[in-house]
A and B are shown apart, each in its own frame.
Chain A
Amino acid sequence: MTISIWRYSHLILAVSSALFIFIATVTGIILALEPISNQIQPFAVDNANDLSLAEALEILHNEYEGVITLEKDENDFVIASIITAEGKNDMFYVNPFTGEKLGELIKKKPIFEFATNLHRSLFLKSTGRFLVGLFSFFLFLIAITGIKLILKRQGGFKRFFAKVVKENFEQYFHIVIGRYTLIPIVIITLTGVFLSLEKFNLLPSDKLVHKNIENTSHAESIGINGFHVFQSYTLNELKSLEFPFSEDEEDYFILNLKDKELYINQYTGRVMSKADISLVSIVSTWSMVLHTGQGTFVWAMVLLLSCIAILFFMYSGFTMTIKRKKESVKIKNKYTKDEAEFILLVGSETGHTQRFAKQFFDALITANHTVYLDQLNKYSTYKIAKHLIVFTATYGEGEAPSNAKNFEGLLKMIRQKQTVKYSVVGFGSLMYPDFCKYAIVVDALLQKQKNFIPNLPLFKINNQSHDAFKTWIQQWNESTSQDLKIQLTKPTVNKKRLKNFEVLNITDCNVDDTFLLQLKSLKKQKFKSGDLLAFYPEEDHIERLYSIGRVEDTILLSIKKHKFGVCSKQLSTQKQHNMIKARIKRNLDFHFPIYAKEVIMIANGTGIAPFLGMMNENTLDIKTHLFWGGRTQQSFQLYSKLIDKAFKKGYLSSFNLAYSREEDEKVYVQDVLMEKEKLICNVLQNKGVIMICGSIAMQNSVLEALNIITESKLQHPLSVFENNEQIKMDCY
């Protein structure tokens, strides 16, 4: 497993602090409920914040024997501490308009008390507080490295919220949820660290200092409702007001406002002294509010969701790590670098590319070749090498993966003595504008070297497609007259998950050896056109996927019988009413976009199957255009009935056919697209969607054609629309 320093730190920090972060998060979830439950208490009084202090004080004065304090808590509830007619002290939520008691103070529930203690000190007092502060800081670093990793993966700030390539459930949601919660997590952790520092007296003192307290005199005694200072502030600015302890003239009102503290003479109402609240204290208040969510329902909810997200990150992060560990392949070379004729070099960030290289390595070994597998960074001299095969991923914006960073430099320095044939296979995702960019770089670098001659042109593989990899193997076999077979690990199939399907109809094979198979599930199952039907033939248990067209609640498959195809052969011999075992796999990314205004469907060969279903269910009046490429007019006969039906119903607005074997001039589907560039531009500009289904070769040519159109007519590369989820693909 090769990983960059960022990824490594992200992981190491997470592993080392997992236990503490887990405790803090679980208690955090509990604690986030406290402000939420407090906020829904009925102690808030409408418009109370507009009431002036003078009015509020007069009301309280008339209602009670004596008042000790009047304050507002973090929930904006007004609390009065008063002396009753019996001389007893009472403290409660008060309605400042009437002086009426609204209810007893909320007592902190024991569960919150317990969670608070565990959350901030793990019941370890100072030691615990230190640990919590430290791990809060660790979590902050994890968030920062996380942001850095997302930036690298997505390729810059602008693409931070661009579509994420889905490799698997954990990876996808780790990133998607991460993008939205990283900012709250940074806030939670920083405020957490701040609050811990505060407990350790590491911050400048935030105590208020009153310098010159004016001498008191009650020369001009006026009633408190005449106090100018009380008239000028409303309850909105109030934090707390403490009444004079006694009638002694040395005692005064202490008025705490949000930004200052005032001492007020109890007879004249003059402000005797004013102290501004220090910056540290303001930051401290804000930290408290941001960290605990007290007083704000919405922020408390954000905190709650962030905590739940952290738990999910822990789960998904560790699952990913374990999966990668399992998938990562150790290089076990049988031969040294100078004994091997075939040199395989790998540039891999997450280990996926390495796996493909290992499969090729094994295939060569089985064919009794001398092979040497290594990282691109270890490039060196290879005494008897005849072939150099580079498998490389691309990181970020066309950068080298972490174990290939030094390759460029090494290649310039180290010369091979003999000539070596080279082939480059690039791995990447079409969703990035720089698809396989680093592979292109490597290919160009090798081309410049005199001792290297190309064996195969650069081959790009999208989203780790096994089928594309097989295609490349075929090319390789042809170019070197070998017969390598890639050993895909025979997966175990969970037979319980397979369902019975009845054959309703099967057509004979047409000129292209293609036939239609109509199936019905015995049990009611949810599926849509574009979902996949998976077969697992007994021979190899390798999953074969066919795109489903849903026609009148049945499953319609278009299958091409391959000469050596195990599965297609088996299916072609089915008879009506036979039972077949298979499984429906949902393929949410390739469903008909009912939200779009206009849809273009592009397919070749059997790739038309899902579209046959979609076009016959398009009841929403979405303008739909079909482009299909086949060999001859006869090939089209198989589908003409369903297409005519859709066309007559008005579900299909236009269809364009391209035949590659009909006339002297070969016409492919991408050629027809180039003729209809206006339609394509219109659809893309009107937020329409283009769907592509068929072979990888067709996909690549179509994407190239579309890219030419968008770049020349719309001044944007196709990847812009792809990120906008306007391009949907299902190719094999």
Chain B
Amino acid sequence: MRKINIFKIAPLLIVAVFLLFGFTLKQPSSTYKCMIQMTNYTGEGAYIIISLLNPKGEYEKTLYVQGDDDEWYFDITEWWNFQGKKRTNIDAITGATISGGERAISVIEIADDKIDQGYKVRFETAVEDQEYHADDVEFELTSESVKSKVEGKGFIRYIRLMPQ
């Protein structure tokens, strides 16, 4: 029994050691292709923020921003409470707004250790002079969900994720 236990624990230990070293050197992460398909709404192009939420539901990291005119960012209130204070540089992960009926494909990067740990991915949407959806799409980050299709509640019809 004991022997077996050690056998069972050994790979975990190895993984743990690897992970530890990994943290100190470079966070291992993977990239995912992410497609956002909009509904046929009419109006201006939508601002969409893809964020990573920790298990407590707090913002942890901005993964992608569709919409490059920063003077509208404060309209995306919940995210702005987080980004507005920290002002991390998001230039490299910024694209254009997406209009009704359109779709856009972007590549996002997520640290591997966030998967299956209760973290969530959230898609927030806002359109000029129209509603703001704080959780247009929100799902838990699991090894299953990173290759799935999730329906949206607001301006987003669905999103699709696929590991690179």
Contacts and interface: CB of A to CB of B under 8 A. Distances in A.
B129 A126 contact: yes
A199 B44 contact: yes
Contacts of A113: 69, 71
Contact of A88 (B31, B35, B68): B31
B107 A201 contact: no
Interface in A205-257: 205, 207-208, 242, 245-246
A87 B164 contact: yes
Contacts, number: 49
B107 A89 contact: yes
A208 B160 contact: no
A476 B66 CA distance: 83
Interface string B121-164: 00000001100000000000000000000000000000010101
A207 B105 contact: no
A125 B42 contact: no
B107 A88 contact: yes
Nearest to B37: A245
Interface in A175-213: 199, 201, 205, 207-208
Contact of B31 (A87, A205, A245): A87
A242 B100 CA distance: 17
A542 to B, nearest CB: 62
Contacts of A242: 103, 105
B101 interface: yes
Interface string B60-76: 00000000110100000
Interface string B4-33: 000000000000000000000000001101
Given A87-B164, A88-B107, A89-B107, A245 B42 contact: no
B81 interface: no
B44 to A, nearest CB: 7
A672 interface: no
Interface in B69-94: 69, 71
B118 interface: no
Chain A interface: which size bin?
20 to 34
A68 interface: yes
B101 A245 contact: no
Interface string A85-114: 001110100000000000000011000010
B105 A69 contact: yes
A144 to B, nearest CB: 30
Given A125-B128, A199-B44, A246 B106 contact: no
Contacts of A107: 68
A205 B80 CA distance: 33
A647 B105 CA distance: 86
Contacts of B105: 68-69, 81, 242, 245
A113 B69 CA distance: 8
B106 A89 contact: yes
A245 B33 contact: yes
Nearest to A81: B105
Nearest to B164: A87
Contacts of A289: none
Contacts of A207: 40, 100-101
B43 interface: yes
A40 B68 CA distance: 23
Contacts of B40: 205, 207
Contact of A201 (B31, B43, B69, B109): B43
A149 interface: no
A66 B31 CA distance: 13
A305 interface: no
Interface string A442-461: 00000000000000000000
A77 to B, nearest CB: 15
A18 B59 CA distance: 48
A125 B72 CA distance: 11
Contacts of A91: 95
A83 interface: yes
Contacts of B42: 201, 205
Contact of A246 (B103, B109, B128, B162): B162
A66 B107 CA distance: 11
A83 B164 contact: yes
A83 B109 CA distance: 12
Nearest to A129: B129
A242 B106 CA distance: 12
A81 B95 CA distance: 11
A348 B9 CA distance: 107
Contacts of B69: 113
A117 B95 CA distance: 19
A126 B33 CA distance: 35
Nearest to A208: B101
Nearest to A126: B129
Contacts of B71: 113, 117
Most buried by B among A89, A108, A113: A89
Contacts of B164: 66, 83, 87
A261 B68 CA distance: 27
Nearest to B64: A89
Contact of A245 (B100, B128, B160): B160
A126 B130 CA distance: 10
A201 B164 CA distance: 39
Contacts of B101: 207-208
Which 9 residue pairs of A and B lie closest in terms of their CB atoms, listed nearest first? A89-B107, A87-B31, A201-B42, A87-B164, A207-B101, A68-B105, A245-B35, A126-B129, A246-B162
Interface of A: 66, 68-69, 81, 83, 87-89, 91, 107-108, 113, 117, 125-126, 199, 201, 205, 207-208, 242, 245-246
20 contacts: A68-B107, A81-B105, A83-B107, A88-B107, A89-B31, A89-B106, A91-B95, A107-B68, A108-B68, A113-B71, A199-B43, A205-B40, A205-B42, A207-B40, A207-B101, A208-B101, A245-B33, A245-B160, A245-B162, A246-B162
Interface of B: 30-31, 33, 35, 40, 42-44, 68-69, 71, 95, 100-101, 103, 105-107, 109, 128-129, 160, 162, 164
Given A88-B31, A245-B35, 14 more contacts: A66-B164, A87-B31, A88-B107, A89-B107, A113-B69, A201-B42, A205-B40, A205-B42, A208-B101, A242-B105, A245-B105, A245-B160, A245-B162, A246-B162
